């Protein structure tokens, strides 16, 4: 993950359309500064990635196992930032995602859709420029996996 820069790009001209568009999203103004925590960007990225059809889950095997345990605890909920790492600077952010994808989905098309959704969600909600979204596809979810997991869980329980 490349480190987001915190310096303003001085090469832009006053007539640059991207600069004019960003003016409405300034985090630092004459009236004060807005700081956005890494955890906020992490949650936005995680939720945006999960919205894309074909993404089964986020995180590596250990993170998914911990998430499954967390879901069994009454009152606990799965972490929206599971499988997401971010670096946030003053004006830019970089995101790394670990994905578990549905079998049969084009990984190339899925990667483009995830990047597009994550970038647009972060930039729209925070005003930060997303410089990169790196994806790591760790596994493929097979249609019968859920049934096998549920039957092995129920056979191991004492009733």
Could you give the number of structural domains in the chain? 1
- Residue 109 falls inside a structural domain: yes
Domain extent, residue 99, equals 34-155
Average pLDDT over residues 103-115: 97
- To 5 degrees, how large is the angle CA 91–CA 92–CA 95? 155
The 3-class secondary structure across the chain, one letter per residue, is: CCCCCCCCCCCCCCCCHHHHHHHHHCCEECCEECCCCHHHHHHHHHHHHHCCCCEEEECCHHHHHHHHHHHHCCCCCCCCCCCEEEEECCCEEEEEEEEEEECCCCHHHHHHHHHHHHHHHHHHHHCCEEEEEEEEEEEEECCCHHHHHHHHHHHCCCC
- Residue 104 falls inside a structural domain: yes
Any idea what the CATH number is for the domain that residue 133 is in?
3.30.70.1350
Q: Is the pTM of this model over 0.75?
A: no
pLDDT of residue 29 exceeding 50, the answer is: yes
Percentage, residues of the chain above pLDDT 90: 52
Higher pLDDT, 66 or 41: 41
């Amino acid at each position: 993950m490349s480190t987001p820069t915190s310096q303003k790009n001085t090469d832009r001209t006053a007539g640059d359309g991207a600069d004019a568009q960003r003016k409405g999203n300034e985090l630092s103004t004459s009236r004060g500064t807005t700081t956005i925590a890494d955890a906020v960007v992490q949650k936005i990225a995680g939720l945006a990635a999960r919205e894309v059809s074909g993404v089964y889950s986020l995180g590596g095997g250990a993170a998914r196992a911990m998430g499954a345990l967390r879901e069994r605890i009454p009152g606990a909920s799965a972490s929206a930032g599971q499988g997401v790492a971010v670096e946030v600077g003053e004006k830019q952010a970089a995101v790394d995602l670990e994905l578990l994808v549905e079998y049969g989905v084009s990984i190339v098309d899925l990667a483009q859709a995830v990047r597009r959704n994550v970038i647009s969600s972060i930039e729209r909600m925070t005003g930060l420029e997303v410089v990169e979204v790196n994806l790591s596809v760790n596994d493929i979810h097979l249609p019968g996996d859920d049934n096998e997991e549920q039957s092995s869980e129920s056979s191991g329980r004492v009733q």
